[in-house]
């Protein structure tokens, strides 16, 4: 009979793979921690640069607003009122000149029935820089004009229409005439 005696205080166990795996996991976690810290530092630097850019743009906006207020105060002085009126007049002319008559007539051609005649047209600027067309159209009866109104309202270029008045035929003008206003959105 043989008796196995182990004189060590702890029995031998193969721990080398566990220690190696733990060391590898620790190294991996240390690398992930380093990457997270690096990304945090980079994000902080990016955030600081963004804040500086926003502050710079806000300062520029305040400077421009102050300059605009100063210039508006100069324009509102009594001696500059005439120049301001001329400026507004010229700006409205330039805006009105920006309307393409060719494109306007092409858009009207798409919605105008064949038996409706365009007698006059006058574009105007509305309160919000929208183009309003004041038109006088003529037809032998009211049905084609009603069809024109329906086509104008269903068109993406034209908006709601308003009929101002109806002028009956006379000896000099054999057509039934309508004065119409319609909002027009031209694609420039």
Task: Show pLDDT as tens, one digit a residue, over the chain (188 residues).
Answer: 677 776 666 666 778 888 999 999 999 999 999 999 999 999 999 999 999 999 999 999 999 999 999 988 887 787 777 777 777 776 776 566 567 778 888 888 888 888 889 988 888 766 666 778 889 999 888 899 899 888 888 888 888 888 898 888 888 888 889 999 988 886 54
Q: Which alpha helices (DSSP H) does the chain contain, by range?
A: 16-75, 81-97, 101-111, 142-154
Asked if residue 111 and residue 62 are part of one domain, the reply reads no
First to last CA, the chain: 109
pLDDT at position 3 is 74
Closest CA to 108 of 65, 151, 142: 151
Domain count, the chain: 2
Using only C-alpha atoms, what is the Rg of the chain? 40
Burial 76-114 (b: 16+ CB within 10 A, else e): eeeeeeeeeeeeeeeeeeeeeeeeeeeebeebbeebbbe
Whether residue 176 lies inside any domain: the answer is yes
Asked if residue 61 and residue 112 are part of one domain, the reply reads no
Whether residue 90 lies inside any domain: the answer is no
* Residue 68, domain extent: 18-76
From 60, 76, 92, the end of a domain falls on 76
pLDDT at position 172 is 83
pTM to 2 decimal places: 0.48
Whether residue 141 lies inside any domain: the answer is yes
Contact between residue 137 and residue 144 where contact means Cβ atoms under 8 Å apart = no
Whether residue 44 lies inside any domain: the answer is yes
Tally the C-alpha atoms within 13 A of residue 161's C-alpha that lie toward its C-beta.
Answer: 21
Asked if residue 62 and residue 107 are part of one domain, the reply reads no
């Amino acid at each position: 009979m043989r008796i196995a005696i182990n004189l060590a205080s702890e029995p031998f166990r193969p721990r080398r793979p566990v220690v190696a795996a733990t060391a590898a996991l620790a190294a991996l976690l240390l690398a992930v921690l380093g990457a997270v810290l690096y990304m945090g530092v980079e994000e902080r630097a990016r955030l600081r640069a963004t804040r500086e850019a926003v502050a710079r743009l806000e300062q520029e906006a305040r400077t421009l607003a102050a300059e605009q207020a100063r210039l508006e105060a100069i324009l509102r002085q009594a001696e500059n009122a005439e120049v301001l009126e001329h400026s507004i007049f010229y700006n409205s002319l330039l805006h009105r000149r920006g309307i393409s008559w060719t494109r306007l007539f092409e858009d009207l051609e798409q919605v105008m029935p064949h038996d409706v005649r365009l007698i006059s047209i006058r574009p105007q600027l509305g309160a919000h820089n929208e183009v309003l067309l004041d038109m006088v159209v003529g037809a032998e009866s009211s049905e084609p004009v009603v069809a024109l109104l329906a086509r104008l309202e269903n068109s993406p270029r034209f908006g709601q229409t308003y009929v101002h008045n109806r002028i009956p035929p006379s000896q000099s003008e054999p057509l039934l005439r309508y004065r119409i206003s319609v909002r027009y959105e031209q694609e420039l």
